Amino acid sequence: MVKKQGFTSLCVREIKENRTTQPHVLPIYATSSFSFSSIDEGMAIFKGDQQGHVYSRYGNPTIETVARKIALMESFDLDEDGECILFSSGMSAILTLMLSVLEPGHKILTQGNIYGGTTEQFDKILGKHGLSPVYTDLSDMAKLASLMAEDSAIRMVYLESPANPTLACLDLAALTEIAHKAGAYVCVDNTFCTPYLQRPLTHGVDFIVHSTTKYLNGHGNSTAGALVSIHTDLMKGPIWQAMKLAGTNCNPFDAWLLHNGMKTLPLRMDRHCANAMGLARFLESHPQISKVNYPGLESHPSHAIATQQMMDFGGMLSFEIKDGLEAGIAFMRKLKVASLAPTLGDIDTLVLHPASMSHINIDPEIRKENGISDGLIRLSVGIEDLGDLIDDLEQALS
């Protein structure tokens, strides 16, 4: 007879999974490590002779399944599938990319009208580690080509299109062609658009970064980031290694929440876009509004570019109230439907004041040069009834 183990041992040990059929929805693999069937299997996996999971910081079935879906979405128009790695946030995705593909002495060419946190990361972290940011107007192709021809240290062009919070759009194909001729990579933050509205890989872009916290998840209940590329050698090599060693990985629960959110992405984005266009047209005709930034408006400077490379114009807009900052503050205090929150992409409407919130640590002169005035208000338009949103803005402006 086989001797029974003690009761405590029974409590401690894992019992064989009692599953007879496949789950319909992706499970959460809430495990920090994975066990091997034998020492030989473990050695083979660690040597790289056999594929297998080891430790969730290295890889996890839930995380990798969700990453695979994002890769397929971003490379939907291509003959080859992209590769995706999920991170703890969009910021950690950017940092890991830069530290893994660039060397000290290299420079990052970027624009002044991007998310303030990204600018701070470039200036305060990467700059101190020998990766200097260079700020310029990326819409000026002649200037871009000249800068890159004069400085061979520029090895990465980083941009947002549309940009946060001015919604300025850039010609991705033209910009990428110039960068590649100079031997530089191009990385696009595609958070505002998601792959449903814009797929930068089709324009030759090398890397796409997402704060999946925003539209891809859509419900404001998880924090994560994604990096997508067709450079599988870099993704599976130095970038994965940097993620593993720096510990910038995503976790299974946030990946699972992201997975559930993405199932309704097209439905949500259609409504976001329709509501944003409705609010943009309402604000453009309002006597108290001096300027509206929305690429779907014919008056927007980037309208032609947005029409060419986006399937629709997104759910983000910004605007200026004629009486400036004080009027803007009074407006935000009176809102009843929209919420004041330092994020975007949720299903409900969110309002933010960039100069005192997302871009507070950016040099005021840089903000001013790039259209981020003290009176600018950013609106992440939700999926509520459009009439309710118009009524809310109307009463807050009156």
Strand-pairing partners, residue 352, are: 378
Tokens at 83, concatenated: 């590769």
What 3-state class would DSSP assign to 33? Answer: strand
Tokens at 285, concatenated: 């005709």
pLDDT of residue 9: 87
pLDDT of residue 138: 96
Q: Looking at 215-372, which runs of residues are DSSP E strands? A: 225-229, 289-293, 316-321, 339-340, 350-352
CA-wise closest residue to 230 among 366, 84, 68: 84
Over the range 81-101, which residues count as b (16 or more CB within 10 Å of their CB) and which as e?
A: ebbbbbbbbbbbbbbbbbbbb
Residue pointed to by tokens 């069937």: 37
Identical fold at 39-262 and 265-397? no
The C-alpha atoms of residue 264 and residue 347 are separated, in whole angstroms, by 11
What's the CA dihedral at 361, 227, 250, 349 to 10 degrees?
Answer: 60
Tokens at 144, concatenated: 């871009």
Q: Parallel, antiparallel, or unpaired: how do β-strands 107-110 and 154-160 relate?
A: parallel
Q: For 4-55, give the DSSP string.
A: PPPHHHHHHSPPPP---S--SS------SB---SSHHHHHHHHHTSS----B
Tens place of pLDDT per residue across the chain (398 aa): 667 889 888 889 988 888 889 999 999 999 999 999 999 999 999 998 999 999 999 999 999 999 999 999 999 999 999 999 999 999 999 999 999 999 999 999 999 889 989 999 999 999 999 999 999 999 999 999 999 999 999 999 999 999 988 999 999 999 999 999 999 999 999 999 999 999 999 999 999 999 999 999 999 999 999 999 999 999 999 999 999 999 999 999 999 999 999 999 999 999 999 999 999 999 999 999 999 999 999 999 999 999 999 999 999 999 999 888 888 889 999 999 999 998 999 999 999 987 776 667 667 777 677 667 777 899 999 999 999 999 999 999 98
Q: Report the interhelical angle of 386-397 vs 265-284 (nearest 10°).
A: 40
The domain made up of 39-262 has a fold known as Aspartate Aminotransferase; domain 2 (3.40.640)
The amino acid that residue 86 corresponds to is L
pLDDT of residue 364: 73
Tokens at 155, concatenated: 């090895």
Strand-pairing partners, residue 154, are: 107
Q: Which residues are catalytic?
A: 57, 115, 189, 214
Alpha helices for 22-140 (secondary structure H): 39-47, 61-74, 90-101, 116-121
What 3-state class would DSSP assign to 106? Answer: coil
What 3-state class would DSSP assign to 131? Answer: coil
Domain 265-397 has CATH 3.40.50.300: no
> Residue ranges per domain, the chain?
39-262, 265-397
pLDDT of residue 7: 86
Q: What is the H or E stretch that residue 252 is in?
A: helix 252-262
pLDDT of residue 373: 73
Q: Report the interhelical angle of 141-150 vs 172-181 (nearest 10°).
A: 20
Alpha helices for 319-385 (secondary structure H): 324-334, 364-369
190 phi and psi angles, rounded to 5 deg: -105, 20
